[in-house]
Amino acid sequence: MSDLSAPEIYLWQMVETRARELFALYGYEEVRTPVLERTDVFVRSLGDTTEVVQKEMYAFEDRGGRSVALRPEGTAGVIRFIAGGGPELRRARLYYMGPMFRAERPQAGRKRQFHQIGVEHLGEANPVADAECIAMQAHLLRAWGLSDFEIQVNTRGLPEDRKAVADGLRKALEPRRRELCEDCQRRYEENVLRILDCKQEACGRIAAALPPVTDFMSAEARDYFEQVLELLEALDVPVERNPRLVRGLDYYMHTVWEFTHGALGAQDAISGGGRYRIDVDGDAVDGVGFALGVERVLMALAAEGVDGDAFRERPKVWVVTQGERAFRENLVLTMTLRHHGVACGMEMEKRSMKAQMRAAGRAEARYAVIRGDREMDDGTFLVKDMESGAQDTMDMPSLMEKLLPDVAGRVE
């Protein structure tokens, strides 16, 4: 778990701001669900055989003896929220951003507190919604300045196809079962699909030779997937079919996808998503969505040379004071400028001019506005352009004209 501060925080802010702007273009609204939920909210959505639930959840008893957990992802809480609301929520487009928690072994790109930006598009359970969701995500990555990413897509088929897929895979794996790693020997019985994305080389070779999962699926599932792929082509979003893409959560059906980025090494998924059907007290909720790992987005931005410093907010003005009388008047000036929307700094200690000018330079202020007791007597200001070094003496009206953003005819 990490503290987040400058200079990285400038990138976090840019990433969040652009995400909000982009989601608004697609009609998504923000939802903020609690970080702590009853444990069963996650168990019933994510499935009790998933690794996240079995091994990675921060679950504990609260003082009332209730089992609660820090959210390991965002979908389950959003579904809990919309299931408790009216019918209009069943067709909502929602986004969220915030911390998630998984008790994983930390390594590059894997943290115990990490952050997701995610969306859930509820209702409208059809291939068009899936394709739009993937296309929006590609749009978002480009809005952040990323281009070196790939989109891998696959289908989990219909829930009714699951048994046929598992049986088909088992049959195809049977002759080479003994060559699988220990984990996959167990997975063969419990969760055969997970053999497909095993990271062990031997298992990878075996999985690569298997027929694609679509071979075992119904015509309806295959047709759905083809429609998604066709729509993505029409939207000019290049994707790669990856028949071995599984996704680690149980709620998926039909389309699943991951965005990968060359800079991320072993943990190369920058995001994951898919269509799902989640049962809430006997009531099926349909949706499609994705979540991006913000830490991984930042690693990708660094690799593509996007510099956080470019997004730092710099003050337009630094007010520099000399003498007792000017001090109070300058404080009034800084407040007036801020009330007019001009970012402005001034030291609260009375230090030398030199020290104050250094502070103005460190803050990378655009202008230093210098007023000492002598300027007070004359009713003027000395304005230094910190980029060109040019200095100018001005009275109050011309200073305001120069600095205020909404004064007509201002000189910049």
Contacts with ligand HAM by CB under 6 A lie at: 73-75, 102, 104, 109-111, 114, 116, 118, 120, 248-249, 269-274, 276, 289-291, 293, 295-296
Kindly report the number of other CB atoms within 10 A of residue 142's CB atom: 12
Runs of H (alpha helix) within 181-287: 182-190, 201-208, 219-234
Provide the minimum distance between the beta carbon of 295 and ligand HAM in the complex, in angstroms, as a whole number.
5
Please identify, using beta-carbon distances, which residue of 142 and 314 lies nearer to ligand HAM. Answer: 142
In contact, 368 and 386? CB cutoff 8 Å? yes
Please identify, using beta-carbon distances, which residue of 110 and 312 lies nearer to ligand HAM. Answer: 110
Provide the minimum distance between the beta carbon of 135 and ligand HAM in the complex, in angstroms, as a whole number.
16
Please identify, using beta-carbon distances, which residue of 28 and 216 lies nearer to ligand HAM. Answer: 28
Tokens at 304, concatenated: 């593509």
Residue nearest to ligand HAM (CB): 293
Residue type, 293: G
The Cα 28–Cα 92 span in angstroms is 8
Tokens at 291, concatenated: 């979540």
In contact, 237 and 151? CB cutoff 8 Å? yes
Contacts of 163 (CB under 8 A, 6+ apart): none
The Cα 396–Cα 394 span in angstroms is 7
Provide the minimum distance between the beta carbon of 324 and ligand HAM in the complex, in angstroms, as a whole number.
54
Distances (CA, A) of 287 to 121, 239, 412: 5, 21, 50
Please identify, using beta-carbon distances, which residue of 109 and 372 lies nearer to ligand HAM. Answer: 109
Please identify, using beta-carbon distances, which residue of 112 and 222 lies nearer to ligand HAM. Answer: 112
Please identify, using beta-carbon distances, which residue of 272 and 372 lies nearer to ligand HAM. Answer: 272
Distances (CA, A) of 368 to 89, 324, 336, 376: 52, 19, 16, 16
Provide the minimum distance between the beta carbon of 75 and ligand HAM in the complex, in angstroms, as a whole number.
4
The Cα 151–Cα 197 span in angstroms is 16
Provide the minimum distance between the beta carbon of 333 and ligand HAM in the complex, in angstroms, as a whole number.
46
In terms of DSSP bridges, do strands 149-155 and 240-241 run parallel, antiparallel, or are they unpaired? parallel
Provide the minimum distance between the beta carbon of 133 and ligand HAM in the complex, in angstroms, as a whole number.
9
Please identify, using beta-carbon distances, which residue of 286 and 295 lies nearer to ligand HAM. Answer: 295
Backbone angles phi, psi at 97, to 5 degrees: -145, 140
Please identify, using beta-carbon distances, which residue of 266 and 390 lies nearer to ligand HAM. Answer: 266
Provide the minimum distance between the beta carbon of 263 and ligand HAM in the complex, in angstroms, as a whole number.
13
Chain CA centroid to CA 362, Å:
31
Provide the minimum distance between the beta carbon of 270 and ligand HAM in the complex, in angstroms, as a whole number.
5
CA distance from start to end of the chain: 44
